[in-house]
Amino acid sequence: MRWSGVVIFLVTYLLVSARRVGWLGLDRPAAALLGAVACVAAGVLSPDDALAAVDGDTLLLLMGVMGMGAFLVVDGFFEAVEARLAPLTARPARLLGAIVWGAGGLAALITNDAVCLLGAPLVVRLTRRGGLPPVPYLLALATAANTGSAATLVGNPQNMLCG
């Protein structure tokens, strides 16, 4: 049973590490879920142990943030912010600064996960609009959100749940 767990872990790790396994049609979350199901099916984890490993509070918090993001999309919030920040795409350094300072400041007020979940689509839209590569700006968003979240108790889900 121990070797089956190691094999399942390695296969899952390879699948999650791949951007997308085209011939399987799996993305990262699906690969992780497949690994979890394989662990239970192979007897590496009991169904009770697998269920105990899931933190319901964190899932509810993240689902709430995603729901909030969906409402903001319907409300047109992202289009309004994009229109306001669009002129910054002509000067990439200013766009980067706006992302860093905005994400860092917001992450001190709401969770860093919320900032990343809500900010990533906006950053992608802005960089596409300006013909800029999105990855450096997304990394800046994540780094700034993580840094800004350390400023307050509510900036980080772990702090919120423990505090």
Res. 64 pLDDT band, cuts 50 70 90: confident
pLDDT above 70 for 53: yes
For the chain, how big is the Rg over CA atoms in Å?
19
Average pLDDT over residues 93-109: 92
Res. 160 pLDDT band, cuts 50 70 90: low
What is the distance between the alpha carbons of residues 155 and 112, in angstroms, rounded to a whole number? 6
Average pLDDT, the chain: 85
pTM, two decimals, is 0.65
Residue 131's region, left for phi above 0, alpha for psi from -120 to 50, else beta, is left
